[in-house]
Structure 1
């Protein structure tokens, strides 16, 4: 049985899966990234996980399998043509020849791309976007990024740098962003941005049920899930915070929609877990700021396979590239 390996690499965890030619995840494993050990250690872990997944699935299923190719979704700026991880801040990588090293280690074709692109590719082709031609995907997590799939193909832009929606500077925001700008969208509307805003407000004495849940000595434990929990209990501050974040996302999307004219927008990452708490203010703001000709047909949904989209997309990206290379 021929399968493709898909690997989703994050700053905290690496998820590796085996995916059949139809896009079904057959087997998956998850391990800590341990980026502090350096790029060589992380690349070795990726290779070892692919081998472990192949052996584990073969033993579990009693099926002989062959891994045809591997696709790796990496954070940051990636040059998929040269196979180089140009810059991944949360991994500490710069100009790393990832494909060359992994192919030498695994003795099979390896293809890399930005992790948001592979995630959106998986959702667009096999998840919530299946059957749609023009799909814009947004991941709302530690940061905010996007990717566009048109007729089954990813859009890259000059220097492969398209999609950095989180670094649009928004009117009314002023917090410094690690990118060097001030007031970037993701400083407020990402999952980590909302948590950061909440901590700042609570330290300033903001009235909220979160004050009793997280006194000063426990404030660092506050998570995005806690904001949703407070929202569901009717906490005015949590409701206001998520309304503002959703509206900011909608406003940013109102800049993107006229440029690429998608028929579907998929919200993924941790933001998808917030559901309508974010989506309702997002859609209100978005639809109020775009022409009726865009608004009447545009759908906004959450990701269907939020956990597996990165694995599926990476594997199917590898399939697409491998078949193309073989023709």
Structure 2
């Protein structure tokens, strides 16, 4: 067999394996016969590949299925709880790390603050410590680790696994894939944090069950992950989804990027805080100081504003409402540009719930062009503070289950 034919055969075998794995993941418990019928692979091909998957323990035999006249078929399912993936969410303020099984169940988690003016050496050291902490706590299961996913703040070269530019950290050109594969001898996948969150939503969250979904991550900045036909869309130069830098108000505040009136200067977490501080400096009546630790206004956060709003503070409710309007304008632009099935809003600001969601929906209703556009489904992320880390886990799962 010549090299080209042998290579094609190995590729087809790998492709068929991925097809079967994904079928078991999505529809298990499932029989060999049903897999063959639905994938149009021959029964012997299915049996041979399933045998390999059983030997690897990635797939297990479970219950007996319903008989259609002969012997009851043995059903197959993913041995999800027997294999692990490590997920890291890096920056801009915190490093979050999780250990997850193949179902996205978080088995352990940790969070540490990233120091101001952190260096590349220090950041990489912190990330390595997070991974070592997980692996050393599971010494008996080291052979069950499949890979490490990294959701990195900023611009990422996905193919090479390099953090090209993390603007809030002011760091450039970190060869994360190379560093961590050498350190841990595991598959490493690196992606922008907003796109990682979008993939996590598609696999485990409110993006599940739809092929075209956009996840907007609203925290210290605003970024989006775009999933089209079930796949992440990155754009030619890997900057697709930088929706925080769409201009909403040409006379608005100056952004870190140098432009004026970017969406994130009006609707990201720091924008909420600035509006609150400006109002308080002008003597606006508010209970916000009651919710700040040590009564230090320099420590004011978006969560403090949310807590005050929950307690009935009108000023805080107005800030969140205005933020929702700005986000609604941005999301309307996204709807008119990409027309997704669903938009999921995640990140710290989304924790404000209906205080943010209601004005977003109202604004979309007012500004969208068509009845169908007005009805675009808007949902809040349900993955919580570790959503991006779970998205990082899904980067590895995509590699495992799809081709």
Q: Scaled by the length of structure 1, what TM-score is found?
A: 0.90
1:266-300 CA-to-partner distances (Å, cap 9, x unmatched) read: 1111122100001101100012211112223x211
Number of residue pairs the alignment of both structures matches: 319
Deviation at 1:98, TM superposition (A): 1.9
Deviation at 1:212, TM superposition (A): 7.5
Counterpart of 1:27? Answer: 108
Report which stretch shifted further, 73-82 or 167-176.
167-176
Distance 1:285 1:37 in 2: 39
In structure 1, which of residues 101, 112, 115 is the aligned counterpart of residue 193 of structure 2? 115
Does residue 89 of structure 2 align to residue 8 of structure 1?
A: yes
1:125-155 CA-to-partner distances (Å, cap 9, x unmatched) read: 2111211221111111111111111233111
Alignment of 1:11-160 (within 5 A): 11-34=92-115, 36-56=117-137, 58=138, 65-160=143-238
Give the secondary-structure state (helix, strand or coil) at the position aligned to 1:237.
helix
In structure 1, which of residues 295, 302, 305 is the aligned counterpart of residue 374 of structure 2? 295
Distance 2:321 2:86 in 1: 39
Contact 1:207 1:237 in 2 (8 A): yes
Report which stretch shifted further, 137-146 or 205-214.
205-214
Give the secondary-structure state (helix, strand or coil) at the position aligned to 2:87.
strand
Deviation at 1:35, TM superposition (A): 6.0
Alignment of 1:184-203 (within 5 A): 184-203=262-281
Counterpart of 1:269? Answer: 347
Alignment of 1:167-246 (within 5 A): 167-171=245-249, 174-210=252-288, 218-246=296-324
Give the secondary-structure state (helix, strand or coil) at the position aligned to 1:145.
strand
Report which stretch shifted further, 230-239 or 179-188.
230-239
Deviation at 1:38, TM superposition (A): 1.6
Change (3 A) 1:173 1:205: farther
Contact 2:210 2:230 in 1 (8 A): no
Counterpart of 1:314? Answer: 392
1:170-222 CA-to-partner distances (Å, cap 9, x unmatched) read: 137521111111111111211221111111222233343447777xx832232
Report which stretch shifted further, 31-40 or 265-274.
31-40
Contact 1:69 1:109 in 2 (8 A): yes
Q: Scaled by the length of structure 2, what TM-score is found?
A: 0.74
Distance 1:35 1:201 in 2: 27
Change (3 A) 1:234 1:309: closer
Uncovered stretches (5+) of structure 2, i.e. residues with no partner: 1-81
Report which stretch shifted further, 260-269 or 223-232.
223-232
1:158-179 CA-to-partner distances (Å, cap 9, x unmatched) read: 2100111111121375211111
Q: Looking at CA atoms only, which structure, 1 or 2, has the larger radius of gyration?
A: 2
1:61-108 CA-to-partner distances (Å, cap 9, x unmatched) read: x75652221111110110101221110022232122221122222222
Contact 2:118 2:169 in 1 (8 A): no
Change (3 A) 1:151 1:25: farther
Cα RMSD for the two superposed structures: 2.2
Give the secondary-structure state (helix, strand or coil) at the position aligned to 2:177.
helix
In structure 2, which of residues 225, 232, 239 is the aligned counterpart of residue 161 of structure 1? 239
Uncovered stretches (5+) of structure 1, i.e. residues with no partner: none
Report which stretch shifted further, 24-33 or 96-105.
24-33
Counterpart of 2:23? Answer: none
Distance 2:245 2:239 in 1: 12
Contact 1:54 1:65 in 2 (8 A): no
Give the secondary-structure state (helix, strand or coil) at the position aligned to 2:296.
helix
Deviation at 1:322, TM superposition (A): 5.2
